[in-house]
Structure 1
Amino acid sequence: MTTASAPAEPPSVKMTDEAYGALRASHALWAGTSVLITDQHGRVLVQRVGYRPTRLLSGGALDPGESPAQGAARELQEELGLAQPLTRGLAVDWVSPAGRRTSHALRFPGELLHVFDGGVWDEDRIASVRPAPGEIEGVGFVEPADLPALMSPDDARRALSALRARVNGAGPAILEDGRPLSPTLLDRVNAFTRHRAVHHWPWHEGPAPAGLPVRQSWGWIFAPDGRILVLLDPANGAACLPGGTPEPDQDPAATLIREALEEASAHISPAVLLGHLPDREHDAGPCTRVRMAAALTDLGPSRPDPATGQTYVRALATPEQVIELFNWGPGGAGQLTAVHHAPARFGLPRATRQPLTELPDATDLTTL
């Protein structure tokens, strides 16, 4: 029997309005909403409540006649004391009766749960949070990789799927019990399930001071469409840019050429210097980390990095998406500004946001 007829059309099987209404009511589901909020370091806001042993995103059940967006905004106001319109959906999750552990007395029928993007909150907005007394016992920002240990399994899957959808920027993910029906590259590599290294070094454009050793040379390597070559660990999605430690008597540009070929089978144009990040707390003493830019000119078959044995997933991402994969702190914003000026040096366009794209072995760069 079809029960998905348009409201203005009669049911496909002749029955009274009362019978049809009763039939639809017997298929009723719960409806809920939640909000994904991050701080400027990419950490996720979670709440501690007295009625659950696990952490939650802000949100809750919808009131009768309330839209998911209205409900999300109301819950944010009630739980954290902040008014904010919510207009961007990140995920819609069908939570099945088998997908959530509930007491038998609840007779849980399943739930449709919408996840909205609450944005990136700065320190002033975070300081204005006022948790609801008697309901919200505490609020904190945690690394995405900590969500599976802090949340119930289905809540953690949903939050991570929503975070990946935000980075991809292609629209809401459609989930079943927190798992996407059409997994993206970030889903397939389990992005954000490994702790991101905290690299909060200050950004300085131009060359490093004389006498300060260079411990690392990483490259922002631009594909023909203006996106950046980024390397992902296939097991946990941990990201890195091509590059590495200079060999004795090897300059940063030569290091980048060597490492791009070894790590990604990538051939690049002559590199230009963008800037450096002084690291005053390195175990071997003060040093700096150089950032360069180059154009991707050719790509060979994927192969293991001879230094680590790791075979990376090679992907293209916009500069903004690259920043979101790391925890670089305030220095990331300055570096991003320098990166945005680089495409003009190579006659390349500025990248438009789209889901991260894997580069297979047979990639024809002229089609990008």
Structure 2
Amino acid sequence: MTGPAGPPAVAVLVTHPDGRILLVPTRAGHWTLPTAVPTAGESPRQTATRAVDEAVGLTPRVGGPLLLDWTNEGAYQIFDGGDVGGSAVRRIEAGGRAVLVSPGELSTRTAPVEAYRIDTALRARAGGTTAYLEQGEVPAVLAAMGRYRIAPRLHSGAAWTWHTGPVPAELPIRHCWVWLFVPDGRVVGYVDVAGTVGLPGGTLEPHEGRDAVAAAIREVAEETQLGMTDPVHIGYLVDDQPGRRPVARVRMAAAVTTVGPPAPDPATGTVHRRILVPPRLVGELCGWGAGAAAQTEAAVTVAAREWAIPEPDPALGVSELTGNSVTGRVASVDR
């Protein structure tokens, strides 16, 4: 879905108590919310007030923003114009220019992106929130965060530096995480009760020494109850925190072979949600910054080479792994 070309604009959602929505005609022959382009020195809320006044000759008591859609041309906003009163309805209908239409008529009266924006604004009003879109759509990361209760977070991963090859002997290995691929090309992530999201894996235990493979197998089983192929080393990140000795955070890749029912993590006693994420969305969802690109490329390359797992269409989106199986071919341990 792509937003229409044009300058940044401010629109107003005004509704009848019976749910109908106030629309005005556009030059292109569609219908739209009362809309105006901000003038110099005018606040978005003042623009919203003017938009309704110019459309129907009445001045609304405008509330706060219901929706912000960032387009290539800038911000498109929808403000809450509230309900229209009985006498105002009669004046609008007598004017013969604006109409009040039911939500079910939006798809035939307005452009698709406009219908979606209005529906989103209505849901935001009902939920007491402000919706955020980019190019007329909810960004994939925000959609996943909302659906799976993933909390916003400032992560230090963007400061870690990516390296291929084995970990140097002098660099301690602190963690190992696994890019765990399912047959459709997505990667398993987990979400804990605090809303933290990440790849399965964790801290090496003392008895594991520098054996990152052993830690990977143990952590994946404990956190996600999944079986996997022998993990393949794809590289490591150097975490060089101020005042501390640098450590390595190993990254491996593997393919899912078995899926067990969700169970409490022995380390925390909590059951993690298991989600399936397109690989190129992992870095943004986990907050790793621009440096995640090289790591992602290494992971998808290994998945294609070792298990013939293709990279999925990003439009596949994020979903939850709730059952005891994944759709499609499970990678063969014998490959």
TM-score, normalised by the number of residues in structure 1: 0.55
| Offset of residue 362 of structure 1 | 3.0
Compared with structure 1, are the counterparts of its residues 159 and 300 closer, same or farther at alpha carbon in structure 2 (3 Å cutoff)?
same
Q: Is the 8 A contact 1:223 1:295 kept in 2?
A: yes
Compared with structure 1, are the counterparts of its residues 74 and 331 closer, same or farther at alpha carbon in structure 2 (3 Å cutoff)?
closer
* 1:1-368 matches, cutoff 5 A: 28-29=22-23, 30-31=33-34, 76=74, 97=82, 154-155=129-130, 158-159=131-132, 165-167=138-140, 186-191=145-150, 193-199=151-157, 200-233=159-192, 236=195, 238-250=196-208, 251-281=211-241, 285-343=245-303, 344-353=305-314, 354-366=316-328
Question: Gaps (5+ residues) in structure 2?
Answer: 1-19, 24-32, 56-68, 84-99, 104-113, 118-126, 331-335
| Offset of residue 233 of structure 1 | 3.0
Question: Gaps (5+ residues) in structure 1?
Answer: 1-25, 35-48, 66-70, 80-85, 87-91, 99-108, 116-151, 170-183
Q: Residue 285 of structure 1: SS of its match in structure 2?
A: coil
Opposite residue 313 of structure 2, the aligned amino acid is T
Report sequence identity in percent: 30
Aligned-residue RMSD, C-alpha: 4.3
User: Residue by residue, what CA displacement relative to the aligned partner does 1:79-123 show, whole Å, maximum 9, x if unpaired?
Assistant: 8xxxxxx9xxxxx9896727xxxxxxxxxx9997976xxxxxxxx
Work out the CA distance in 1 between the residues paired with 2:306 and 2:36.
46
| Offset of residue 214 of structure 1 | 0.6
| Offset of residue 335 of structure 1 | 0.8
Q: Residue 203 of structure 1: SS of its match in structure 2?
A: strand
Q: Is the 8 A contact 2:189 2:198 kept in 1?
A: yes
User: Residue by residue, what CA displacement relative to the aligned partner does 1:251-310 show, whole Å, maximum 9, x if unpaired?
Assistant: 111111000000000111101101011111176521110000011101101011111223
| Offset of residue 247 of structure 1 | 1.2
Q: Is the 8 A contact 1:32 1:114 kept in 2?
A: no
Residue 5 of structure 1: aligned partner: none
| Offset of residue 349 of structure 1 | 1.8
Opposite residue 215 of structure 1, the aligned amino acid is R
Q: Is the 8 A contact 2:178 2:216 kept in 1?
A: yes
Q: Is the 8 A contact 2:183 2:327 kept in 1?
A: yes
| Offset of residue 188 of structure 1 | 2.7
Question: How many residue pairs get matched?
Answer: 243
Q: Is the 8 A contact 2:48 2:79 kept in 1?
A: no
Q: Is the 8 A contact 2:239 2:246 kept in 1?
A: yes
| Offset of residue 327 of structure 1 | 1.8
Work out the CA distance in 2 between the residues paired with 1:163 and 1:204.
38
Q: Residue 269 of structure 2: SS of its match in structure 1?
A: coil
Q: Residue 138 of structure 2: SS of its match in structure 1?
A: helix
Could you say which structure has the larger radius of gyration?
Answer: 2
